[in-house]
Chains A and B, each alone.
Chain A
Amino acid sequence: MDDILNYERATARLEEIIRRLDSGEAELRETLDLVKEGQRLVELCAGELDAVGRGLEELRLDELVARLEAGPRQDGPA
């Protein structure tokens, strides 16, 4: 599953799909399946690009570590 969610694998598979569709050799059923798969991959890649396009989020590791360490103590045992 990780392999499918990987951006570079998704783009590579997408290009493969486009090549197959461009060849005109795919039957109707295969075409529709490929288009469906391609749309899913496009959404995945768009999601990845969106994740790195919302604006630079800069954090300091020491602050993050301090926050993470402080977190459980603040919450306390349930």
Chain B
Amino acid sequence: MTARTAGRRARRASGRSRAWAPSTLRRLAGAAEARPAGLPGSALPGPFPVGAYAERLRDELRARARVQLFGEAWNLSVSRAKVYFELRDARGAVPCSMWRSEWDVLGLAPDTLADGAVVVVAGGPDYYPGSAASSPSFSFLATELRVAGEGDLLAQLDRLRKLLDAEGLFEPQKRLHLPELPRTIGVVTGEGGKARDDVLAGLRRRGWAGRLLWAFAPVQDRHAAPRVIQCLQELAAVGGEGSDRVDVIVVARGGGSLADLFAFCDETLCRTVALLRVPVIASVGHHTDRTLLDDVAAVSCSTPTHAAESAVRVDCAEARGRLIRCTRRLESHSRRAVLERARALAGLERAPAEHVHRQRRRLHQRLRELRASGRRQLAEERTVTDRRALVLGRKATGAAVAVQQRARDLDRLALAVAAHDPERTLARGYALVEDRAGAPVTSTRAALAAGELSLRFADGRVAARTEDS
């Protein structure tokens, strides 16, 4: 410890010791039954038992003047015994409490004390000293309360929203190109917050594993806006226009009351975002608590996970699959286009030869058919001829038989005729009577009529004359 520091501490100690009356110190000291030794070299009084100190602190705070305060009531919570809220304005805040019995007497509707409602309270500071089993707490214990009107902060917010809108500052971010597949994403968030994990979960869900630039900043209180602005400007400047540039920025913060999110309604922050050349995706609180950053940003999301998914709008695994399918289709089209046309060309090239070949085949076929037909016709003719020859043969055979038969008939007839030949009769001793003309005379009357007759014998003729007897 330097002499300067020790002197400063001693001055602080002596200053504080003046705030405690000697009687008080004696009371505090007397309360300690078994007091440990103090810090070596320390000029401060004590050590005192903390419980006695806490009780004394409570007494002194309660002894302070009771006053009236006004401000905006935020974060109202009602427990069985007490009602708690914070009283705020632009310069500071005080935690307040009120006994339930006094609160209930007011008969306020449940939503009367919505966040931002301006109230006037009467009361004084109080301190609960706690115990070995409970935590101490400080609050302004209000005994009376009156609602004064709409919250000044909300009205101020509304005015600023209208002003920025009128200046057209809600539009520039919406006109920026939001890449579907950013290579580098900047994230402005609280270092220890859950939003960080949510952003990572959203990116994992998209299968995205690119370059992530964390810009950690406080995400509430009066330090938040300037630091967030600085982060945004630095992120937008990273890499310039090169491939290392930040393609999109996510501003993420988990849920909270509107009061907690007021840093994201900061006018300078909103104007900075509106003029930023990198698209900003806002995920601050929930949609029920819409900050001005939500209005100014390119995209507003309800959760950091959704913000991450909006930053990477492509499911990388699906995109890879789609790309593979595209590659196959392109290859298929390329191959088919050439092959089909090559086949068509080859077909055209072969066409004349095929035509000649086809005609030749057709001629050969015709020739074969003609030959076959000739053979068939010849065979048929031969069959017919054979049949006719056979018939003729048969007929010739029949004719010969008929000739023989006829010869035999002729012989028989000749024999029959010969048998009736008169010569043969004459040879046997008969004579033929003929008239002068040679006609046979076969009756007596004819013989008498003829007068002169010729008698023909086998060996000659004799003339004879008839006489009437």
A67 to chain B, nearest CB (A): 11
B212 is an interface residue with CB less than 8 A from chain A: yes
B80 is an interface residue with CB less than 8 A from chain A: no
Query: In chain B, what residue has the closest Cβ to A39?
Result: B330
Q: Given the known inter-chain contacts A58-B214, A61-B235, please indicate yes or no for A42 contacting B327, CB distance below 8 A.
A: yes
B376 is an interface residue with CB less than 8 A from chain A: no
- With a cutoff of 8 Å between Cβ atoms, the chain B residues found around residue A15 in the complex are 326
- Bound CA span A38–B322, Å: 13
- B275-324 with Cβ < 8 A to chain A: 312, 314, 316, 319-320, 322-323
- Pair A45/B330 contact, Cβ less than 8 Å: no
Q: Would you give the 0/1 interface string for B206-247, flagging 1 where the beta carbon is closer than 8 Å to chain A?
A: 011111111110000000000000010011001000000000
- Pair B207/A59 contact, Cβ less than 8 Å: no
- Bound CA span A53–B204, Å: 11
- Pair B209/A21 contact, Cβ less than 8 Å: no
A73 is an interface residue with CB less than 8 A from chain B: no
Q: Given the known inter-chain contacts A28-B341, A58-B212, please indicate yes or no for A48 contacting B183, CB distance below 8 A.
A: yes
- Pair A38/B212 contact, Cβ less than 8 Å: no
B406 is an interface residue with CB less than 8 A from chain A: no
- Pair A56/B231 contact, Cβ less than 8 Å: no
- Pair A8/B180 contact, Cβ less than 8 Å: yes
- Bound CA span A77–B282, Å: 41
Residue from A31, A34, A52 within 8 A of B181 (CB atoms): A52
Residue from A39, A46, A53 within 8 A of B209 (CB atoms): A53
B417 is an interface residue with CB less than 8 A from chain A: no
Query: In chain A, what residue has the closest Cβ to B181?
Result: A7
- Bound CA span A64–B210, Å: 16
- Bound CA span A39–B327, Å: 7
- B319-358 with Cβ < 8 A to chain A: 319-320, 322-323, 326-327, 329-330, 333-334, 337-338, 341
- A6-43 with Cβ < 8 A to chain B: 6-8, 11, 14-15, 17-18, 21-22, 28, 31-32, 34-35, 38-39, 42
Residue from A31, A38, A58, A59 within 8 A of B326 (CB atoms): A38
A78 is an interface residue with CB less than 8 A from chain B: no
- Pair A46/B337 contact, Cβ less than 8 Å: no
- With a cutoff of 8 Å between Cβ atoms, the chain B residues found around residue A7 in the complex are 179-181, 314
A49 is an interface residue with CB less than 8 A from chain B: yes
A55 is an interface residue with CB less than 8 A from chain B: yes
A57 is an interface residue with CB less than 8 A from chain B: yes
- Pair A56/B209 contact, Cβ less than 8 Å: yes
- Pair A56/B181 contact, Cβ less than 8 Å: no
- With a cutoff of 8 Å between Cβ atoms, the chain A residues found around residue B323 in the complex are 42, 45-46, 49
The total of interchain contacts (Cβ-Cβ below 8 angstroms) comes to 102
- Bound CA span A17–B330, Å: 9
Residue from B214, B319, B329 within 8 A of A61 (CB atoms): B214
Residue from A21, A46, A60 within 8 A of B216 (CB atoms): A60
- Bound CA span A1–B334, Å: 26
Q: Given the known inter-chain contacts A28-B341, A49-B320, A52-B316, please indicate yes or no for A57 contacting B211, CB distance below 8 A.
A: yes
- Bound CA span A17–B329, Å: 10
Query: In chain A, what residue has the closest Cβ to B185?
Result: A52
Q: Given the known inter-chain contacts A54-B209, A61-B234, A62-B216, please indicate yes or no for A49 contacting B330, CB distance below 8 A.
A: no
A70 is an interface residue with CB less than 8 A from chain B: no
- Pair B330/A38 contact, Cβ less than 8 Å: yes
A74 to chain B, nearest CB (A): 19
- With a cutoff of 8 Å between Cβ atoms, the chain B residues found around residue A18 in the complex are 326, 329-330
- With a cutoff of 8 Å between Cβ atoms, the chain B residues found around residue A61 in the complex are 186, 213-216, 231, 234-235, 238
- Bound CA span A47–B216, Å: 30
Residue from A8, A14, A31, A51 within 8 A of B333 (CB atoms): A31
Q: Spell out A's residues near B (CB within 8 Å).
A: 6-8, 11, 14-15, 17-18, 21-22, 28, 31-32, 34-35, 38-39, 42, 45-46, 48-49, 51-62, 64-65
| Residue contacts A-B, CB under 8 angstroms, 16 given | A21-B333, A28-B338, A32-B334, A32-B338, A35-B337, A38-B330, A49-B319, A51-B183, A52-B312, A52-B316, A53-B209, A56-B212, A58-B212, A58-B214, A61-B234, A65-B234
